[in-house]
Structure 1
């Protein structure tokens, strides 16, 4: 797997990540969603450098201009519900992409810290021979990415796979390296050292879905 770690170099993304983590700034749900969206935009720009391009001639008011434009057939697939603002950030840059949505959540069958990832909803175009951009803000255990990718096999085999996340843990990245094809790209803003005993990223930022859209009932 090719790992692209955004905060390995300093940029304005540091500001957005610091606000996403800050418990005081998190109280503003609109700003939290917008910061995820802005990180998605930055990751989109970096990801675009690895896509394929083709020449195109554009007619201007004063003549013609030749430039390279994206050749890939893109499908952006976001994991509901926390993936929605990240999806919008990607779509702001890849506005001609097709769109796919899939649900994945932690199910606690025994009402304790043990959980399984359930995938119950999928709306997607064909992925056959296309470039899949699979997005989820939080890469904790990695099991959501893995289970969703297995579910997506029913709608075609993509030619290229790009995973996009805001914050991840080393354990989750290690699982993705085992479960995804060798040439998969992971685009991630920042990587934290470990998970706690409940499978949450430390220091992380908390539950991204709740911070975006409010608390939910547990399943």
Structure 2
């Protein structure tokens, strides 16, 4: 396998590898694809968050039997989920389930221009991403942003999302993905090496001339939303 940057982490979890093999199959229907993306996201997300957040003592509370105990909170306190439309939506519930408290979900819409394969942004709902939060009284950027994107192909879309969040002012980014192509993963990882960690279930070595992973998963967004052949 191609050597990857040090801020890229590829899981070796045996259950994850088995589920990834099931997801690759063209026989998996939309319901199965949704379930597998969710389950893979749970495992990869669990591994990523174990490194990205820390547990700290919270206030004391009381059990139903009246015993006092110490609660646990996580840091950083400000976390945002940033799914890349469309396919990143299939990963949101899994990572929400992992986090102990609700966090904001900020969507980014990016697509690859078919001829150049370069990313084009068409939607961005980061609060105050065009001007300072302090000027409007809105909350500032999250300390930790979690990008959710099942497939990293050329890496252009992921790199563009990283740059957008860096400009927004986040302190740290983790990317949770199902699979990526080695060159694209390296490109995304090198966009902000000191601020980004990328976590995946698997890596493929090649891309087709259309910028698709080989063997890959196909178009995950189309498989999730039954828009194959659009």
Aligned to 2:94: 89
Aligned to 2:219: 207
**Can you give the 5+ residue segments of structure 1 that lack an aligned partner in the other structure?**
none
1:137 aligns with 2:150: yes
- For residues 171 and 214 of structure 2, the distance between their equivalents in structure 1, rounded to whole angstroms, comes to 34
Aligned to 2:8: 3
CA deviation after TM superposition for structure 1 residue 58, in Å: 2.9
The Cα offsets for residues 22-63 of structure 1, whole Å up to 9 and x where unpaired, read as: 1112xx101101111111111221122121221023311230
CA deviation after TM superposition for structure 1 residue 216, in Å: 6.5
- RMSD, aligned α-carbons: 2.0
1:152 aligns with 2:153: no
**SS at the partner of 1:212?**
helix
1:102 aligns with 2:108: yes
Aligned to 1:44: 45
Aligned to 1:70: 74
Contact 2:17 2:202 in 1 (8 A): no
- For residues 93 and 191 of structure 2, the distance between their equivalents in structure 1, rounded to whole angstroms, comes to 27
CA deviation after TM superposition for structure 1 residue 87, in Å: 1.6
- For residues 145 and 42 of structure 2, the distance between their equivalents in structure 1, rounded to whole angstroms, comes to 17
Higher deviation after alignment, 86-95 or 163-172: 86-95
| Distance change (3 Å), C-alpha of 1:149 and 1:59 | same
Instruction: Kindly tell me the number of residue pairs found equivalent between the two proteins.
Output: 209
Normalization by structure 2: what TM-score?
0.83
**Can you give the 5+ residue segments of structure 2 that lack an aligned partner in the other structure?**
1-5, 128-138
| Distance change (3 Å), C-alpha of 1:148 and 1:127 | farther
- For residues 164 and 137 of structure 1, the distance between their equivalents in structure 2, rounded to whole angstroms, comes to 7
Aligned to 2:209: 197
